[in-house]
Structure 1
Amino acid sequence: MNLPNKLTLFRVILIPFFVFFLIAPFFDGYGNYIALAIFIVASLTDFADGKIARKYQLVTNFGKFADPLADKLLVCSAMICLIELNKIPSWVVIIIIAREFIISGFRLVASDKGVVIAASYWGKFKTVFQMFMVISMILSLDFEWWTIVENVLMYVALALTIISLLDYMYKNRDVLKDTK
């Protein structure tokens, strides 16, 4: 197993620890900082694994499958926890998770037809903004203006989620056509 794939697996392994420290009531206000550190490390592995895989030609089929799955698991786990912590509205998380299911289904149909749907820049921007949104909500600074920062990041992440969905569907609309 190459280094990028090990980084991807490490990101997945970090998720239960992240969730535990974020929502467990045992740490008197420090658990969120431990969770934040874990989330940042996991997010950095996302950027590192792709960069290393491309730079050293270590792209594998496992990596193509596992890397986006690890990203989805990390970000969706974080957002679901943030619902429980009353930091993000559930309707925002539902839209974001619905987009992930739609794109995953789209990729499955494309794969069945021998088509690989690569990540787009819109999708990458979406992931970056979602990660910054999660970080800002976990950090939850006690400043009046911080709520504005959190809301701006949330709405930008939501907009990019919808834009990236529409972009994927438009660019790959032929995948859904029946060819008999």
Structure 2
Amino acid sequence: MRVNLPNAITLARIFLVPVVMLFILVRFDFGALTIGGMSTSVSELIAAGVFIVAAITDGLDGYIARKRKLVTNLGKFLDPLADKLLVSAALISLVELQRLDAWVAVVIISREFAVTGLRLVAAAEGRVIAASSLGKAKTWTQIVAIVALIMNNFPFRSIGFPFDTLVIWVAMAMTILSGIDYFVKNKHVIQLSR
């Protein structure tokens, strides 16, 4: 079976998940970057960089698939799976490091799987639930929050600004709001599937 370019990008995102986890959880002695008396390890910088690259590929694979008319059923399955794996792995790793409360990770991950379930029910009915603008905003706030937590609030720690805490609360709010939005706008899908 030949894999087209968008699906290859999506698979690359899946393969980057353990790389992100490795650099978040394992303390390699690569040194540190110091600004204003505060430092972050090179491992954290690598983890954040790989996470950002993986997150960017999310939009890239979809854009190429639509532009080149390479949308496939495999891609429709793999793309949301890759997103959930990336976000879930990062959040669970951050809980392990005690940089994130477990209940916050559970709320975010639960919403992701609930919306995926809704999409599966819709697909069984021959309907497609497109990403909403709230859903896209949720994704970007989650990315920013996860990167801030991976970097342990660097460089904002140097000025005592709790950027990581602020942005994770914004991401939580966007996660809940967008989840409610999906279910309210698509309640007919649930009613039809009874």
Return the TM-score normalized by structure 1. 0.91
**Cα distance between partner residues in 1 of 2:192 and 2:62:** 33
C-alpha root-mean-square deviation of aligned residues, in Å?
Answer: 1.7
- Counterpart of 1:171, as a letter, is K
SS for the counterpart of 2:142 is helix
Aligned length: 179
Greater shift, 79-88 or 56-65, is seen at 56-65
In structure 2, do the counterparts of structure 1 residues 179 and 128 end up closer, same or farther at CA, with 3 Å as the change threshold? closer
Identical pairs, percent: 45
Greater shift, 29-38 or 94-103, is seen at 29-38
Cα deviation for residue 157 of structure 1 reads 0.7
Counterpart among 7, 10, 28 of residue 8 in structure 1: 10
**Cα distance between partner residues in 2 of 1:68 and 1:124:** 13
Higher strand share: 2
Return the TM-score normalized by structure 2. 0.85
- Asked if the contact 2:121–2:193 (Cα under 8 Å) also holds between the matched residues in 1, the reply is no
Counterpart among 69, 72, 82 of residue 60 in structure 1: 72
Is the aligned partner of 1:160 residue 2:177?
no
- Counterpart of 1:25, as a letter, is R
SS for the counterpart of 1:143 is helix
**Cα distance between partner residues in 2 of 1:145 and 1:153:** 15
Higher helix share: 1
**Cα distance between partner residues in 2 of 1:179 and 1:74:** 30
Cα deviation for residue 15 of structure 1 reads 0.6
Cα deviation 1:129-151 (Å, max 9, x = unaligned)? 1011111111221324442x112
Residue 122 of structure 1 corresponds to 134
In structure 2, do the counterparts of structure 1 residues 146 and 85 end up closer, same or farther at CA, with 3 Å as the change threshold? farther
Residue 176 of structure 1 corresponds to 190
Mind listing any 5+ residue stretches in structure 1 that lack a counterpart?
none
**Cα distance between partner residues in 2 of 1:155 and 1:146:** 14
Cα deviation for residue 66 of structure 1 reads 1.1
Cα deviation for residue 179 of structure 1 reads 6.3
SS for the counterpart of 2:76 is helix
- Counterpart of 1:93, as a letter, is A
Cα deviation for residue 27 of structure 1 reads 3.3
In structure 2, do the counterparts of structure 1 residues 2 and 86 end up closer, same or farther at CA, with 3 Å as the change threshold? same
Q: Which has the larger radius of gyration?
A: 2
Mind listing any 5+ residue stretches in structure 2 that lack a counterpart?
31-40
